[in-house]
Structure 1
Amino acid sequence: MPQTNRQTVYASVTKRIITELEQGRVPWVQPWGTPDVDTPLGLPRNGSTSKAYSGINILILWGAAIENGRRTQNWLTFKQALSLGGCVRKGEKGTTVVYADRFVPKKERVKAAENGDDPQAVAFLKRYTVFNADQCDGLPENLFVGASPLSERDPIPHAEALIEATGADFRIGGDKAFYVPSQDYVQVPPQPAFRAQIDYYRTCFHELGHWTGHETRLARSFKGRFGSRPYAREELVAEMTSAFVCASLAIVPTVRHSDYIATWLDLLREDDRAIFHAASLASGAADFILAFQDESDSGGMAA
């Protein structure tokens, strides 16, 4: 894709996110749970391959599903709908998602072979159109099965099991929630200390989002003081990590640090690729945490 087209994609998606934030809506958590929205919780998936979408595509597809009141988080290309025995209804408008990758041009391979150097890959960003299963006819019924929201009773066993399975040094006590990179531990207040007990789990997965960034795990940078751009970036990653994990566990996401919104807006206005980068890192962090579900399901502990 030409450079100008890539810039258009980054700018258009970032502009949409900025508009949402300016209007007081945080696109990775709202408006889940409102009475007029029937969209089920969960991460968006490709209905043909069952593969979960990641990074910025989660925000794009969540937004499209909620805006249009879709009944499912399953998405398909036009051809995939046909391959499953269905079809996109006439007049339905698709949603544009993006695919980022790298390739080595032929000229670069030839040049590298002549000089004995390593060929240099070139980044590209491709757009393609998908449709929610709700926009199609004739698809298998399993594509319309959504996650059921959990009650807010405490505890939530599978959330507790996942936290334990991570093997994180997870301490409960005090009146503040935080992660200490230098000592690699998480601390959160006792669950009854939260006004809404469901917030305990949202907070746990926010702090575990930070925990994934330790140098022995996903190795993100923790440099930057409160209010700085690096600090805002890491908080944005942790916020979205919590939202992605909570959605996977059928826990309604929320904003833990609404006072950061102004800083996030500054960050996005300054760099139209920031939300892409943060969403990608958040997907990686959420995947890292959710990979421990196998341990929690089997009753084992991670090393």
Structure 2
Amino acid sequence: MNAYEIVMESRQKLVEQVISNMKKGYIFTEKKWDAQVLAPHNPVSHVSYKGGNRIRLIQQVVEKGYQDPRWMTRRHLQEQGYYIKKGEKQTICEKWIFTKKEKYMDEDEQEKVREVELEKPMVSYFGVFNAEQIKDFPPLVQLEDQELSETMKIGMDCICSSECRIIECAQPEAYYAPGLDKIVLPLRQMFKDEESYVATVLHEMVHSTGHHSRLNRNIENPFGSIEYAKEELRAELGSMFLKADLGISMQGEHFQDHSNYLKSWISVLEDDYNELFRAASDAERASIRIMDCYQEYKKSPEIGRKPQNIKDVTLTPVK
């Protein structure tokens, strides 16, 4: 098989496993997870795996029961003097190439090199191994558990770094209103715990990145439609990525449970398994944008937005 066929076969197998999970009522697992494990990275190159590759490696963590988020190529391991345990198999990751370098002559007849966009992207792939598959690899240094007060502090910093206004009011829904570019939340005391509050905040913040002035996704769709379900999948994945990147407990629940969307997601993925990778890519872009704003706010907190409380509001929601 060529590289494209290998990548597509790998995608299909992953989506079949995700669909199987969804039919049981969840995306990856019923278990609670350490956020650190859901942030796969290469400790040698210091690269964090993103988008569809992140989904691939999370699924392997679930399937194999790994407790280590570190993944490396065979070449990196050999360079570091480590060996793969007997019988261990690699996990395929994909890489898409959109540009190439070409030589050209400038106006002074000097040869230079520039990067140009390919007419058709090229796909390649590479294999990685989890640290638990490596003989005598140094143990993982575990992150200390966050106190709930620290979780709330992270959540409030996210709110204050939001690119759109976030308000709390005495009503039972959590949603993003694209027309007014606002996130509306129930009062904080209506949530079961602090993790659930922050999980809901992050979910709605991912929706807000779809605004036409930001990442410009198709987010204004009628409730119950396939396109509406697709955006919910992006928000679900994006909030999960953010919790992992922020080190927030995975035990929180969203204010609106995602189980109602599972049947729609199954239908979408069965029709086109590439949709999971499009969703993961969009979710990654959303989480990166939110993290960039969060980091910028942490440098200059005095310029951030403050959450506000209102008594009543009538908006067109994206939940």
TM-score category of the 2 structures, normalised to the smaller one: 0.7 to 0.9
Out of 218, 221, 224, the position equivalent to 2:221 is: 224
Structure 1 residue aligned with 2:113: none
Q: Which has the higher strand share?
A: 2
Alignment gaps of 5+ in structure 1: 107-117
In 1: Cα distance, 2:284 partner to 2:35 partner: 21
Could you tell me which residue of structure 1 aligns to residue 131 of structure 2?
133
1:147 and 1:265 map into 2 onto residues whose CA distance is 34
Q: Contact (CA 8 Å) 1:44, 1:73: kept in 2 or not?
A: yes
Residue 112 of structure 2 corresponds to which residue in structure 1?
none
| CA–CA distance in structure 2, aligned partners of residues 292 and 104 of structure 1 | 31
Tell me, yes or no, if the aligned pair for 1:39 and 1:73 is still in contact at 8 Å: no
Partners of 1:43 and 1:247 within 8 A in 2 = yes
Are 1:199 and 2:200 matched, yes or no?
no
Give the conservation status (yes or no) of the 8 Å contact 1:166–1:292.
yes
2:32 is the counterpart of 1:32: yes
TM-score by length of 2: 0.80
Deviations 1:216-270 (A, max 9, x none): 1111112421121111111110111111101112223356421100010011011
Alpha-carbon separation, structure 1, partners of 2:148 and 2:275:
34
Q: Between Structure 1 and Structure 2, how many residues are aligned? A: 285
CA distance in structure 1 between the partners assigned to 2:100 and 2:232 by the alignment: 34
C-alpha contact 1:40 1:148 (8 A) present in aligned 2: no
TM-score, normalised by the number of residues in structure 1 = 0.84
Structure 1 132/287 Cα, relative in aligned 2: closer, same or farther at 3 Å? same
Q: 1:95 to 1:32 in 2, by over 3 A?
A: farther
- List per-residue Cα deviations over 1:154-173 (Å, max 9, x = no partner): 86212221221234311111
Q: Which AA in structure 2 matches 1:132? A: N
Question: How has the CA–CA distance of structure 1 residues 131 and 84 changed in structure 2, closer, same or farther, with 3 Å as cutoff?
Answer: same
**CA pair 119-207 structure 1, distance change in 2 beyond 3 A:** closer
Q: State the Cα RMSD in Å.
A: 2.6
C-alpha spacing 1:191/1:226, structure 2 compared with 1 (3 Å)? same
- Does structure 2 conserve the Cα–Cα contact (< 8 Å) formed by 1:86 and 1:139? yes
- CA shift in 2, pair 1:11/1:68, >3 Å: closer
Q: Percent identity?
A: 26
Once residues 54 and 196 of structure 1 are traced to their aligned partners in structure 2, the CA distance between those partners, rounded to angstroms, is: 29
